[in-house]
Every structure is written in C-alpha cells, then in structure tokens.
Structure 1
Amino acid sequence: MRSHFFAYISRMRFIQRWALMRNTAPENVQEHSHQAAVLAHALAVIRREKFGGTVDPGLAAAAALYHDASEILTGDMPTPIKYHNPAIQNAYKDVEAVAERKLLDMLPEELRAAYVPVLTGVDPEVERLVKAADKLSAYIKCVEELKAGNAEFREAAAQTRRALESYGLPEVDYFLETFLESFSLTLDELK
C-alpha cells in the first residue's frame, strides 16, 4: 500500500498565514508549525523544570508540529473569521476533525495509532500548551512585523498579548518575562 500522508504534510509550506494583513515577511504553515513546536517544547520544559509539571516536552513538540496539519486540506481560516461567532467556530472545528481523520486514514493501519495523539490531541494538558505555543508564535510574528515598521499588526499584537496573559499559565508568563523582549531586538543587539 502506498501512502500519501507525508507528501500531504510537506505541502504545509504552501499554505500562507495572515492572509487578511499586509506582511513584511510572509509566513507559511510549515514555518509556523516549526516555531510552535519549538515553543511548545520550551513551555513544557519550563513547566517541568520551574513549576513541577509532568507534560512530556517531546509529545508537546510533536503535537505542535502537526497542530495545523488539517489546513493542508482546509486552508488557513483567518482568526477574525474563525472566532467571529460560535456557529462558525464549531463548524470549522467539525471541518478540522474531518480533515484530521482523512490525514490519519492516509497512513498505513499499523502507524495510525502513533499519530492519533499528535493529530487529534488526546492529552488536554498537551493541547493547552500547544494552544499557548500557537498564540505565542502569533504574538512573536506581530512583534517582528512591528519591529519592521508594519503598524498593520499593532492591534493584533495587543489582542494576542492580552490573550496570552489571560491563559493563567505560569510557563507562558515566564516565557514572556524571560525571552520575549529578545524578539524585538536587532541581530547586533542580540550580541
């Protein structure tokens, strides 16, 4: 049996994010997923090392790598539309679930169980960290766009920062306090 699963996954690079906004640096889903994986891993490590948590950083990273995989089939729906009202949000969640199932069905039977936790999110604590990492990645994008002089991202940055602060996750607060300022610096300032 031939499987198209990884050929589809590789197409994440063709799905552009932030479609409703002018970008100084375009971002695709594959780039975003990599950053979200790095951030989810970091949040899980921070939770474990600083706050005594038990979330597996490897599982958090893997789940973040695949958290937007359904967009290969659905495309990226802009946040203002996706969360405009509960009916749209619920309908889109249903569409994402169908797309996730379709991706899982592309895998050989003997591999599917290994991909269920990263494609469909069965651990609620991992899901919370991946959601936080996803939002943190969006905030970093806003900070980088503002650094490049793109005021188009000003309100998105403010809204995203408020959302991050409202999560009540100490590892997110720690990341914001410890690491976030560096994203607004130039390469020379990072030395």
Structure 2
Amino acid sequence: MRIGSHFFAYLSRMRFIQRWALMRNTAPENVQEHSHQVAVLAHALAVIRNEKFGGHADAGAVAVAALYHDASEILTGDMPTPIKYDNPAIRKAYKAVEAVAEEKLLHMLPEEFQPVYAPILTVTDPETERLVKAADKLSAYIKCVEELKAGNSEFRDAAVQTRAALEEYELPEVTYFLETFMPSFSLTLDQLK
C-alpha cells in the first residue's frame, strides 16, 4: 500500500500552533488564522501599491506567498519575537532551522508539484517578500490594537514598537493602509455602522 503525501495534513495543523505565547491574550490567535489575515493584508498592500502608487505587484502571488509565510512553523513551532530577534546568532540559527523545515515540507509533496511550491515556501522575489513582511507586521499591529481595545495593557509596548517598525518600512502602501483602514480597528461593532 502506497502512503500518500503528508503535506496538506501538516498544513491543516497550523491551527494548533498558538501565537503570542509569552503574552496574556484576551483572544488567542493561531498560525492558521494569522496566515489568512496576513494573506488578506498582503493582497491589500499589493492592490494599494498598484492602484494608488503605480506599482506592478502581482497581488495574487503576494497573497499566496503570505498564506504560506509561516508554514515552516508546523515543524518548528512559533518562536516568540523577543527571542527570535533579540540576538543576531539566534536569528541566523532560526533562519537556518526555517530553511530546513521548508525543505522538509517541500519534499513531502509529490515530485511533480515541488517546482510549483518551492518558490511559494521560500519566497525569492524581494518585492513580494517585502510586502509579505509588511503585512505580517501589520497583522501584529492589528492584534495589539484589538488587545488594547479589549483592555489588555499587556500589548501596550508591543503596539508602540510594532507601529514604529511599520513606519520604518517607509512603504507608501503601508502608510496609506495605516491612515485609511487602521482607525476602524479601534472601533466597536456598533461604531462600524
């Protein structure tokens, strides 16, 4: 009996990996939920770039890259940001671990699909990567704002740091999103009417 590919069974387990493990959360978030939000945001940033700033980003490719941007965490788990980025040696080592995990995931696919998924699991286009990273940071900022709105002061410093990191990107599409769409995340459902 031939055993099939485990690739999609592994991907479905993204929902079991919790994010923000070191912080008290009013609304827990898993990697699958986060990946969906990052894909929506990355797509939006690409559309904003194209429609408002004359860019030529492939919004579909950006969205797909965002969907898979944390796929390696199925094998590595989610390392908290303060640990992952605190030390250059840890950051470098974690990048190497991510690369091994991405390769392992890729080889779970039948050979004929590997060339299709290789550039999705390991993004090589710098502009796609930049938009996905910005969307990832934007997702973190939205999480901070929503936690603060729920009265969780645990996210106060993270919100300030994440907003500053977003502004450091100096991407006009990020600035546009922050000015146009971000204020709504602080509103209640009744205020959104």
The TM-score range, normalised by the shorter chain, is over 0.9
How far the C-alpha of 1:13 sits from its partner, in A, is 0.2
In the alignment, what sits opposite 2:24? 22
4+ long deviations beyond 2 Å: none
1:110 paired to 2:118: no
How far the C-alpha of 1:107 sits from its partner, in A, is 0.6
In the alignment, what sits opposite 1:168? 170
5 Å-filtered alignment, 1:39-188, equals 39-188=41-190
Once residues 91 and 55 of structure 1 are traced to their aligned partners in structure 2, the CA distance between those partners, rounded to angstroms, is 31
Once residues 175 and 119 of structure 2 are traced to their aligned partners in structure 1, the CA distance between those partners, rounded to angstroms, is 26
How far the C-alpha of 1:117 sits from its partner, in A, is 1.8
Structure 2 residue identity aligned to 1:54? H
5 Å-filtered alignment, 1:26-37, equals 26-37=28-39
- Where structure 1 has 5 or more consecutive residues not aligned to the other structure, the ranges are none
How far the C-alpha of 1:180 sits from its partner, in A, is 0.2
Tell me how many residue pairs correspond in the alignment: 191
- Where structure 2 has 5 or more consecutive residues not aligned to the other structure, the ranges are none
Secondary structure of 1:106 counterpart: coil
How far the C-alpha of 1:55 sits from its partner, in A, is 1.1
How far the C-alpha of 1:149 sits from its partner, in A, is 0.1
Once residues 93 and 87 of structure 1 are traced to their aligned partners in structure 2, the CA distance between those partners, rounded to angstroms, is 10
Cα deviation digits, residues 37-92 of structure 1 (max 9, x gap): 00000000000111111110001100000000000000000000000110000000
Contact 1:116 1:122 in 2 (8 A): no
Identical pairs, percent: 81
Cα deviation digits, residues 6-50 of structure 1 (max 9, x gap): 000000000000000000000000000000000000000000111
